[in-house]
Amino acid sequence: MSNDVVILGLGYVGLPLAQEAIKAGLTVLGYDVNAKVVDSLNAGRSHVDDLSDADIAQMLAGGFRATTDETEIASAKTAVICVPTPLSADGGPDLGAVDSATRAVARNLRPGMVVILESTTYPGTTDEYVRPILEAGGLTAGTDFHLAFSPERIDPGNKQYGPHNTPKVVGGHTEACTEAAAAFYGRFVATVVRTKGTREAETAKLLENTYRHINIALVNEMAKFCHHLGIDLWDVIKAASSKPFGFQAFYPGPGVGGHCIPIDPNYLSHNVRAKLGYPFRFVELAQEINATMPAYVARRAQNILNDAGKAINGASVLLLGVTYKPNIADKRESPATPLARALAGLGAKLSFHDPYVQHWDVPGVDAIRVDDLETAVAQADLVILVQKHQQYDADHLASIAQRFFDTRGATSGDDAVRL
């Protein structure tokens, strides 16, 4: 075997993992079914926010290479599956990419290999779904090869925590599998946390994101009634945050987005319904609340214009920031998309500005990108801060806008209406 690891799936999860392994001196092969991605990486071009072209060049200089040839998987001591698991039509995870990647590994499985699934999914996937595929060729997990689950914890745009200093949770099919996977990650991750098995590791990821999902829903619900009661929720959160124990601040917003918070808790809810026959009511209620926020923001926007004697039908509305989180270009599941649909449905004429996004396509909605930020802010009937990118001086923009709706608590003065 000529490679320490092959990483299947070279996106937001797999590529940073490959970079960290390269830094530690491991020989790393990247595998992806997308030939454009592979060719781009081999040419030194990055397609993810957290890695620059210079980062890819350093990886290539360190021996990294990407391929679409699955037979090369057999050259690796460890195979890590980092493919996406979007929601399927029934609300559970779509395991199509996991199935494809697992079968590619199975066709090239060698005795002694360590196979690790990182893709977020429901508890039991590693043991009940992945293991039978791998064992179909005659090798047995825990005896002939090692099998484990280790949830990805990549937080795009986070400058403080990356693959090296974010603790790595690992749970194996057997105790020996856990130790084999832990030994692999221990070569380039500072802290490895072992669980009792694969199900515990799978559920740990779902608990992390369900915790955030539910608490975001709590403050979103509070934002609605605080508005009606004339209470400044942002000031309330600031005051509550002064308590040095027993409280963690969460903040309201126009909705939740990204590849984790709006999706992962549904895996757990779906699994509970499918296997136990009853709903996971906390998760489903949180999903209901968070999913209503774009429509709620649109209604608030309509009311702001009404208070000024203007109809939203025909009004010019400028959206600032259309990505799902600040300071990155990732638009996956961004709340700006359903917000734009809601505003367009009310007759608003939409435009947008985002320093990270040149093209934004919302089917059925015409939203023109503006380049001159200050002129566009001054001319719009209503400006809505949807994402608080570091390039936006929210107080200044609010001061020059006719009307400014701050959904992120980024303003401090009286020039803006805050969520």
Q: Domain spanning 3-196: which CATH class is it, in words?
A: alpha beta
Residue spans of alpha helices (H) in 25-174: 35-42, 53-61, 96-106, 125, 131-135
Tokens encoding 255: 């909705």
**pLDDT digits over 56-108, tens only?**
999 999 999 999 999 999 999 999 999 998 877 766 778 999 999 999 999 99
Model pLDDT, residue 51: 92
62 Cβ contact partners less than 8 Å away, ≥ 6 residues apart: 22, 23, 28
State how far the alpha carbon of 180 is from the alpha carbons of 89, 108, 271, in Å: 36, 19, 29
Long-range contacts of 283-288 (CB under 8 A, 24+ apart): 283/210, 283/213, 283/214, 285/217, 286/210, 286/213, 286/214, 286/216, 286/217, 287/213, 287/217, 287/262
Q: Could you name the CATH architecture of 212-418?
A: 3-Layer(aba) Sandwich (3.40)
- Which residues is 384 bridged to in the sheet? 319, 405
3-state secondary structure of 188: coil
Q: Could you say which DSSP state residue 313 is in? A: T
- Which residues is 359 bridged to in the sheet? none
- d(C-alpha 205, C-alpha 334), whole Å: 21
201 Cβ contact partners less than 8 Å away, ≥ 6 residues apart: 148, 149, 150, 151, 169, 170, 171, 195
Model pLDDT, residue 94: 87
Task: Give the residue carrying structure tokens 């992120």.
Answer: 408
Buried/exposed 230-256: b ≥16 CB within 10 Å, e otherwise: eeebbeebeeeeeeeeeeeebebbbbb
**pLDDT digits over 389-405, tens only?**
999 999 999 999 999 99
- Which residues is 382 bridged to in the sheet? 317
- d(C-alpha 371, C-alpha 379), whole Å: 13
What averages of pLDDT result for each successive group of 10 residues across the chain (419 residues)? 92 95 97 96 92 96 96 97 84 87 98 96 93 97 98 87 95 98 97 97 91 94 95 96 96 82 68 76 87 96 97 97 92 92 97 95 93 97 97 97 97 93
Sequence ranges of the domains in the chain = 3-196, 212-418
Give yes or no for a contact between 335 and 360, defined as CB atoms under 8 angstroms apart.
no
Active site residue 177: no
Model pLDDT, residue 376: 97
Give yes or no for a contact between 378 and 400, defined as CB atoms under 8 angstroms apart.
yes
